[in-house]
A and B are shown apart, each in its own frame.
Chain A
Amino acid sequence: MTREILCCERLSVELGGVRILHDLSFSVREGEFIAIVGPNGGGKTTLLRVILGLQKPSGGSIRVFGAEPGHTVARIGYVPQRLFFDRDFPLSVRDAVLMGRIALKTPFQHYNRQDREAADEALETVGLDALGSRRIGALSGGEFQRALIARALAGNPELLLLDEPTASVDPGMKTTIYDLLDQLKTSMTILLVTHDTGTVSRFVSRVFCLNCSMVHREPPSAASGGAGIEQAYPYPVDLLVHHAAGKADVTNQP
């Protein structure tokens, strides 16, 4: 029996009187690779923010590694959705990745050799070891995204949270990033927010369809006809039927 990493019970979030998440219950076990899909405004990013402790729930409960969110930060790696950042920031790629170690340090400590080695290792994992001394602003979109993943990996997390890591990269880089996640899933639990409903089903163990409440949480089977995804998205979607074996068939919904 694998450990429970994340557990939500009847979780609700309201922001300024607007209901963002409603009555959400699910749990994630160690080693799972879960894709969270759903329309914009469906609460995907809010769910990540709740898990990270950046957003307080207005109802229900959430436990991350058995504790309140925000108390187990050193065990979580976070890859934010960053479309805009300061390209003129005087910072090398290696130093940016080194920041992924900050959760493991107390305020008066400086980064040491062990931290630098972990950062170099993370750069190697994402294939950026040759660009470590380059200025962060000189990276391409896909390279920058991989640098953010390296930053999250530098702290050797047990749970990796990614917010649309492929939103602004070309198809080739998308494949590179998914291959990377496919390789990482053997050593950590992964929660991926994405719009790539097609591509991800080859890699993931479960798909959560989120539109305020959890519309569907198991892989849509041929029998159900993918009713869940249709409920999550208020418009026709390319539906992938996800088999347990990991193969996917494309069904084009009218």
Chain B
Amino acid sequence: MPEELFAFGFLRNAVLASLLASIACGIIGSYVVVKKIGFISGGIAHTAFGGIGLGYYLGINPLLGIIPFSLGAAIAIGLLSRKARVAEDTAIGAFWAVGMASGVILIGLTPGYAPNLFSYLFGNILTVPESDLWLIALLDLIIGATTWMFSKEFLALSFDEEYAEVSGVRTTLFYLLLLCLIALTVVILVRVVGIVLVIALLTIPASIARVFSRSLGAMMLIASGISALFSLAGLWLSWQLDLASGATIIILAGLAFLLLHTVRLAVSFLRAR
């Protein structure tokens, strides 16, 4: 593939998109795993489908349509579950479906045919234009800078939220901020694996990384590396076998996840004997 990398601009863009997406994926995925908010992330991602519909309807880049929808979903789900005494999974379920429904209606209202719709649902990293690379890089920068600035608040929030609150940390505010960063990560990952598959890339690399990490920072680095590995290997494999790239990446990640935990189970079983 290396010589093809330079021959085809779209392949170079695909590799760059994989690497850039892995940065956000490693950082935010680590918080998602240690704070156990995978399904909120899934809810935010699926609500974002409404944003894709909005993008088609307005005739703008659907990624730009996702941003207000996923941020809105993050804040609404967070506030409903924290302040309005709505069970978190109820809020997630409601937004998940309503977001997808509004996407379907907006796409239906758009005259003509909706091109590439499938690629937003399941990702198509081979069609990333250069303008999207810049958008992804900008979002990476926002995500990286914010988590660096508030690293001690996010750590305290993840490890022991009650203690953080007792210590004067504005936990609801930082929780909402974290959900917003997840929303921005969703925007990035939609390009790589699509709305439906985002949740796997937010959880699998970080959960593998956790096994080998002694600090949250190390976990983020390792998770980014693992995510890049899955993305590039999946890209190569899908190129070689002519498969859907997003799905290939997820299948690879899922197999590695299963393998690791099977081995861990076997090791602890043998040790116990």
Chain A positions within 8 Å of B, measured between CB atoms, are 52-54, 70, 73-74, 76, 78, 80, 82, 85-86, 88-92, 95-96, 99-100, 102-103, 105, 107-108, 110-111, 133, 135, 151, 155
Contacts and interface: CB of A to CB of B under 8 A. Distances in A.
12 contacts: A54-B166, A73-B167, A78-B167, A80-B160, A80-B163, A90-B214, A90-B216, A99-B160, A103-B168, A105-B152, A107-B150, A110-B152
A52 B166 contact: yes
A91 B149 contact: no
Contacts, number: 74
Contacts of B214: 90-92, 133, 135
Interface of B: 34, 149-153, 155-156, 158-160, 162-169, 210, 213-216, 218-219
Contacts of A53: 166
Contact of A108 (B149, B163, B164, B167): B149
Main secondary structure of the interface of A (DSSP, over half): loop
Given A99-B164, A133-B214, 8 more contacts: A73-B166, A73-B167, A80-B163, A88-B210, A89-B34, A102-B153, A107-B150, A107-B153
Q: Which of A74, A80, A90, A96 has the most CB of B within 10 A?
A: A90
Given A73-B166, A78-B166, A90-B214, A102 B159 contact: no
Nearest to A78: B166
Nearest to A115: B152
Given A54-B162, A80-B162, A102-B156, A95 B167 contact: no
Given A73-B168, A80-B163, A99-B160, A90 B219 contact: yes
A85 B218 CA distance: 20
Q: Which of A86, A108, A133 has the most CB of B within 10 A?
A: A86
Contacts of B156: 99, 102
Given A73-B168, A88-B210, A90-B216, A99 B163 contact: yes
Contacts of B153: 102, 107
B36 to A, nearest CB: 8
Nearest to A133: B214
Contact of A102 (B152, B215, B219): B152
A96 B151 CA distance: 13
A151 B155 CA distance: 14
B207 to A, nearest CB: 9
Nearest to A105: B152
Contacts of A96: 159
A70 B156 CA distance: 17
Nearest to B169: A102
Nearest to A48: B166
